[in-house]
């Protein structure tokens, strides 16, 4: 088995974490969900129960302790001693995570942690700027996307299974706004790396997407 570093980027709801976890398991690699790290900062910010400002986020991130552990095929996310794996997936966290990720000091701290995790190799990492900024020398670079309609429908199903009743149209609007915020931010915007392979998952099963990723890692 090759000791590769694999970088997967793409917009919200493209299915990155789902297929990345499955591909990492097949490869025997460590899966690093970078989006979860920014969500952890967002969650910690919300715990202050104050208006969410850039100043508040920067105060929170100064001494935050975010840790990712890959256990039994799942990523366990902790902030200090708190297991926040489920808590960071709420609509409230989703609503502010782009604001969190757009701040330079937040990204500097998270990127430093991400690069240290990748140093040992046999790593599959997904996010918004992995191939372009975090791991520009990754062995395999993939840009995973899907139509806004498909991504919104996937998120709607996911939210419904967790007990949230959010209109599909609202999710489409949220994802479009998230795309705009991620692609237009000044620091490490969401773009496809020049040497990344585009993989559009619209209408393709999870199994087929995983198979294509594995083929790229041969």
Mean pLDDT of 140-145: 98
> What is the Cα–Cα distance from 218 to 206, expressed in whole angstroms?
19
| % of the chain with per-residue pLDDT over 70 | 99
pLDDT at residue number 117: 82
7 pLDDT above the threshold of 70: yes
- Which residues span the domain enclosing 189? 5-216
Instruction: Name the pTM for this structure.
Output: 0.78
pLDDT band for 116, please (50, 70, 90 cuts). confident
The tens digit of pLDDT for each residue in 154-180 reads: 999 988 998 999 999 999 999 999 999
Report the SS3 class of residue 11: coil
63 pLDDT above the threshold of 80: yes
User: Which domain CATH number covers 143?
Assistant: 3.40.50.300
Q: What is the SS3 assignment for 72-133?
A: CCEEEEEECCEECCCHHHCHHHHHHHHHHHCCHHHHHHHHHHHHHHHCCCCEEEEECCHHHH
> What is the Cα–Cα distance from 128 to 179, expressed in whole angstroms?
10
Helices (H) and strands (E) in the chain, counts: 8, 8
Mean pLDDT of 67-76: 78
Domain count, the chain: 1
């Amino acid at each position: 088995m090759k000791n590769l570093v694999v970088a997967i980027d793409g917009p919200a709801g493209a299915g990155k974490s789902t297929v990345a976890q499955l591909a990492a398991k097949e490869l025997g690699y460590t899966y690093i969900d970078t989006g979860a790290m920014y969500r952890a900062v967002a969650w910690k910010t919300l715990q202050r129960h104050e208006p969410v400002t850039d100043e508040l986020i920067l105060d929170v991130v100064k001494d935050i302790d975010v840790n990712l552990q890959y256990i039994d095929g799942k990523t366990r996310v902790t902030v200090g001693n708190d297991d926040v794996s489920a808590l960071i997936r709420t609509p409230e966290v989703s609503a502010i995570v782009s604001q969190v990720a757009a701040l330079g000091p937040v990204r500097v701290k998270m990127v430093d942690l991400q690069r240290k995790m990748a140093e040992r190799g046999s790593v599959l990492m997904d996010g918004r700027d992995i191939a372009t900024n975090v791991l520009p020398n990754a062995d395999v670079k993939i840009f995973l996307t899907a139509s806004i309609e498909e991504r919104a429908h996937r998120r709607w199903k996911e939210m419904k299974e967790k007990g949230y009743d959010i209109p599909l149209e609202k999710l489409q609007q949220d994802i479009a706004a998230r795309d705009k915020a991620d692609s237009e931010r000044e620091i490490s915007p969401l773009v496809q790396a020049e040497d990344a392979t585009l993989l559009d998952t619209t209408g393709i099963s999870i199994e087929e997407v995983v198979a294509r990723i594995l083929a790229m890692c041969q």
